[in-house]
Structure formats: structure tokens, C-alpha cells
DNA sequence: GTGCGATTAGAATATTCATTCCATTTGTTA
DNA sequence: TAACAAATGGAATGAATATTCTAATCGCAC
């Protein structure tokens, strides 16, 4: 009623409700309690649904929103929805918005600010990684690698660093590795010896490197067990893969730090080594 | 259309979309890509909003839902909403606790536990990075690169992924880059043309790759301005460098994720590009 | 018990929204 | 090139929804 609630976080709203609870009328108190106990219902439901579940008429819900300073139910609902999106993607939108604004400010142009931006970007990509990769996939991947005679690595363009890193670690651990880098001629020749006894790890992000998209199906067709690391289930290296690791929210090519895939391949390699004992 | 999609989990829906993607028409493929990339928008938005953000007419969105076997957009949206509620249910605390317990349990050898170990290790290495790198060094480094005609990159062995990544980004930004990788003969020949007009970025960690230790002094002696990224001030690529980035606490070669140096070179490259305007 | 202000419920309304339909375009086969 | 089928975009439609309005009710002081 009195306070102008422009943009409000969910936690702030909780505090505000708790504070005013005593001052509210009977019905409104009842709604306050329901709303604090069932934030998800408020976020996703309609006025009628919330009204029914909390046992009050729809108009009371709207009055409640008004009493809190919102223009209406819809406005209040936005705050509850923000809590949901925060739960799945740690401040994805906020991050983007912050980057956009910083980019244009004078501060954002200083190298030090650029570094801290990439650091925080990398941090959140690591959080996402550990959330989105499931144990089952990792187990399956290491099982494939454990049985392989030779391990073929396919990662070109922007993904090449990931492939070289995996190659390095696997070789350190005594595995036989063929890095498909296309030096000294066609990449087809390098992969010509691959069979079902071997294994392939393919890495590719948007925009998918043409050679990768071309070679991958050939190897799959030849029966080579395949592990794919990519950023979308629609990428050209998904179909036919035994295991797919999807790493979401990859920024545009020039801005990606490759932190998440680097960590992932590292864990695959070391996990393989530990499981072998 | 054909499949009766009663109750469906979000992951199942993702799989279904990926599977049918090829069989869909152009517009519908475009929508498929958008919804996989922006599940939150679909969960919370209206048909009109989703349509606008994905750049298609609203009717196409409905047709997409139909093509997937749903009765309409609203029905499909329920699946996307289920993902949001699932995301908040096991709260941060629970998830964090689970990670902690896994880490210490006997299951430490399982790949999933290995991954979470590398992730947390990478997290702390990023924190260290942003603390130990100072603005002055970054400014000096970008200044050197800005004046360079060609940028030579020297990073062999375990550091090679970092060098290739830097090469990729710098080239994307239109810089002339020479990656010293030793293919097709001696690495000396590749670097033969470097002069004081150019610049060198050298990356090396223990155990320092012999070729790096050999080539580095030569280039310095020839007057090439140099930026070094290494793990100790006693490393062979420190003496003579204009700027030295010391990244501490690098684990042994097979265990390092290269997360910190990857971030650093990324920031250097982008910082250079932004400063150039 | 009476009168008054605050509160409430439910119907009425206006808006937003998903869906459908059809004319037009696009792509394909003959 | 012509004819056909599939796909597309945009307007029309009807349902669902939030909000407002008003009459009725409640609580309370006197």
C-alpha cells in the first residue's frame, strides 16, 4: 500500500511479509502464511489456483498483492518466479546483464576487470558442470575408454586445446592415443585404422567445425564406441554416440574459456586410471 | 502427432526433441534449438514471448508442441516447469552437503567423485588467480601485445593446450599469430623471423619442457618483448621477460586442469582487443 | 442493540492469452 | 515449367485469467 516496491528479491519479499504480518487483517494474514509456505505454488499458479489452495476467494489474493505494494498479483508473482530461475541457473540472467553493462563502461575495458569477469564466468560454468554431469555417464565413459586399444581424439578449431590436453594426460597415464589434428595431410588418413576395438572422444562446440561434423559419422558407422562432449543435443556429434556430455551456456567462441570441458576431460582421464587398478 | 506423451520428465523431453530434430521442418528445428537452449524462457514465458525471442510467429510455437505430441503449448510448458521446481527442491545446502560427503567417502575413486574434486580444485585455483594477478602486470602485457606485429606463442608439452587456445582467440580477433609447435621440422626455424617488433608469450610449468627452456633465451636475446606465464620465479622462462605471471600451486602435470592459465590468456586477449578501440 | 468503518466475497469486466483457421509461400515431383 | 503437397505467417476466435466493483458482512465502540 505504502511502500513502492520496484524490483525486489525473493528474500527481501519474505522479510517484508514477515514484518508486516501482524499489521495485516485476518484474511491477509492467512494468505501470508500460505504464500511463505508454498512459494512454488505462487510462482507457477494462477490467481484462482492459489486462491483455492489457500482457501480464500481470488480477490483476496489480489488485495494481498496490493497490500504489499505490488500493482497486482502478476507483479508479485515475478518475485516468486525469480526464486525458481535462481535455483536452476545461478544468476544466469544477472551475469549476462552485468557483463553487458560492464562491457560498455570504462571500468570493463580495463584488463583487470576483464580478468575478474572471466574468472567469475568460469566459476559459474564449473558449478553448472558439476550439476549437469551425472555419475552414470561418467562411469559409462570410463568403461568405454578402459576397453579401448587406441583412443582417438577429435577436437578441432576452438576445441583443439581440450583435445590436446586430454591427449597429454592420457599419454602420461600410459594410454595409446591418436590425436586427429590434420597435420601432414588428411584427417581421414589419421583415423583410418580406428575400429570397434578402439574408442573415440569427440569434442565440438558451436559453430561446429565442418571437418568434425564430416568425420564423426564415418567413425560411428565403422563401429567405434564414441564419447561426445558438446554444447547441445542437436550438435552433429550426438547421434550415434554412446555417451554424450552436454555442457550448456557456452559463450560465443572468442569468449569461452574452455574451463568446464577441460575439467571434464581431466576427470575422465584420471577416473579411468583409478578405476583400472 | 503420434506418440502419446502422458507424463514426461524434462530429460526425457530433451531426448525426444534431439531425436526428432532431423525429421522436423525448418521452422520447427529452429524452435527446437531455442527451447533446448532456453528452457527457462519456455517454462515462464507466454507463447508470444517465446515466439518473439526465438524469432518465429506464435503459431509456429503451438505447431511445435503439437509435433511433439502435446495437446498445445500449455501442456508442453508443464514439462519445462517441472524442471524449475526440481531445481529448487534439493536446496543448495543439500547439494553441497552431498558433494562434501562423496568427497570423503570410499567412493572417492568413482569418476563422479573425481570430477567434483577437480571442480573444487579448479574453483580455488581461480580464486588464487584473481588474487595474485595485478592490474599493472595485465596492463603491461596488453601494451606489449598491442604494439606487436606478430605474436609468437611458445607452449609445449603440458602447456600446449594453453598456447593453442590463445592462438585461437587471438586469430579470431584478427591478430597475426605464430604458434611454435615444432611440426614439420625444428621449432627454431618457426621462430626465426621474430624480431623486436614482435612479441612472445611463453607458457611453461614444471617440469619445464626442454625445448622451451632452450628456445626462450634465444628469443629474449634477439630483443623480442616477452610475457611469461609460469609457476615459479625460478623457471627458465622468467629471466629476461618483460612481464611474468606467476601461477602458484600448480599440481603435478597429470593432475593439472590448466583452468587458471586458460582464464588468464583469455583475459589477456580480450583485454587487448577492448583496449585497442 | 445501534451505527460506523473496515473488511470481505462474489459477480462483472476488461485484458491477456493460447489456439485455430485460412490465404500465401515454399519446396518437390512430374 | 506446371501442379501438387507441405509448411508457414498472421489474423480471427474463443477461452482463461487478473482485476475491479459493489453489496453484504463483520468487528467494535458507544
Q: Is the pLDDT of residue B158 over 50?
A: yes
Q: pLDDT band at residue B224, thresholds of 50, 70 and 90?
A: very high
**Which ranges in B55-152 belong to alpha helices (H)?**
58-67, 73-88, 92-104, 111-132, 135-147
CA B73 → C1' C14, Å? 24
Which nt is closest to the CA of B30, judged by C1'?
D8
Q: Cell 518473439, residue?
A: B52
Domain B10-88 has CATH 1.10.10.10: yes
B69 touches strand C (CB under 7 A): no
**Which ranges in chain A belong to alpha helices (H)?**
10-20, 26-37, 39-44, 47-54, 58-67, 73-88, 92-104, 106-109, 111-132, 135-147, 160-172, 187-190, 210-221, 259-276
The residue in chain B having the minimum alpha-carbon distance to the alpha carbon of residue A263 is B257
For residue range A199-217, list pLDDT tens digits in order. Answer: 999 999 988 999 999 999 9
**Where do the domains of chain A lie?**
10-88, 92-129, 133-276
A46 touches strand C (CB under 7 A): no
Q: How far is A260 from A121, CA to CA, in rounded Å? A: 11
Mutation site, B22, B266, B273, interface A, largest A CB count within 10 A: B266
Q: Is the pLDDT of residue B76 over 50?
A: yes
**Closest by CA position to A234, among listed A274, A204, A272:** A204
For residue range B178-192, list pLDDT tens digits in order. Answer: 999 988 768 888 888
Mean pLDDT, rounded, of chain B: 86
Tell me if A10-88 shares its fold with A133-276: no
Beta bridge partners of B203: B229
Mutation site, A39, A108, A111, A241, interface B, largest B CB count within 10 A: A111
User: With a cut of 50, which residues of chain A have pLDDT below it?
Assistant: 1-5, 90-100, 106-107
Q: Which CATH topology does A133-276 take?
A: Rossmann fold (3.40.50)
How far is C-alpha A141 from the chain's CA centre? 20
Q: Cell 519456455, residue?
A: B42
* pLDDT at residue number A250: 79
Whether the link from the prior residue into B6 is cis, omega within 30° of 0, is no
Sheet with B226-230, side-by-side order of all strands: B177-180, B151-154, B199-204, B226-230, B243-246
* pLDDT at residue number B92: 44
Check if the beta carbon of residue B149 is closer than 8 Å to that of residue B197. Answer: yes
Residue A130 to residue B99, Cβ atoms within 8 A: yes
For residue range A79-135, list pLDDT tens digits in order. Answer: 999 888 876 654 444 444 444 455 555 445 577 778 888 888 888 888 888 888 888
Amino acid at each position: 500500500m505504502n511502500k513502492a516496491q520496484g524490483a525486489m528479491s525473493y528474500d527481501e519479499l519474505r522479510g517484508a511479509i514477515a514484518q508486516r504480518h501482524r499489521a495485516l487483517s485476518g484474511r491477509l494474514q492467512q494468505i501470508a502464511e500460505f504464500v511463505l509456505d508454498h512459494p512454488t505454488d505462487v510462482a507457477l499458479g494462477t490467481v484462482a489456483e492459489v486462491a483455492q489452495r489457500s482457501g480464500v476467494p481470488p480477490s483476496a489474493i489480489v488485495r494481498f498483492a496490493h497490500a504489499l505494494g505490488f500493482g497486482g498479483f502478476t507483479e508479485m508473482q515475478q518475485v516468486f518466479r525469480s526464486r525458481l530461475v535462481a535455483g536452476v541457473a545461478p544468476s544466469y540472467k544477472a551475469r549476462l546483464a552485468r557483463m553487458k553493462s560492464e562491457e560498455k563502461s570504462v571500468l570493463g575495458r580495463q584488463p583487470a576487470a576483464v580478468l575478474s569477469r572471466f574468472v567469475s564466468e568460469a566459476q559459474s560454468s564449473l558449478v553448472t558442470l558439476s550439476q549437469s554431469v551425472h555419475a552414470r555417464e561418467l562411469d559409462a565413459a570410463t568403461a568405454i575408454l578402459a576397453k579401448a586399444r587406441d583412443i582417438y581424439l577429435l577436437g578441432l578449431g576452438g576445441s583443439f586445446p581440450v583435445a590436446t590436453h586430454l591427449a597429454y594426460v592420457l599419454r602420461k597415464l600410459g594410454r595409446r592415443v591418436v590425436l586427429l589434428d590434420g597435420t601432414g595431410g588428411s584427417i581421414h588418413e589419421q583415423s583410418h585404422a580406428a575400429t570397434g576395438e578402439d574408442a573415440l572422444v569427440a569434442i565440438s562446440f558451436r559453430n561446429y567445425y565442418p571437418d568434425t561434423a564430416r568425420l564423426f559419422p564415418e567413425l560411428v558407422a565403422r563401429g567405434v564406441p564414441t564419447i561426445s562432449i558438446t554444447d547441445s543435443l542437436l550438435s552433429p556429434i550426438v547421434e550415434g554416440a554412446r555417451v554424450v556430455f552436454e555442457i550448456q551456456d557456452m559463450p560465443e567462441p572468442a569468449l569461452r574459456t574452455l574451463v568446464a570441458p577441460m575439467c571434464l576431460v581431466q576427470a575422465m582421464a584420471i577416473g579411468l586410471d583409478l578405476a583400472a587398478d
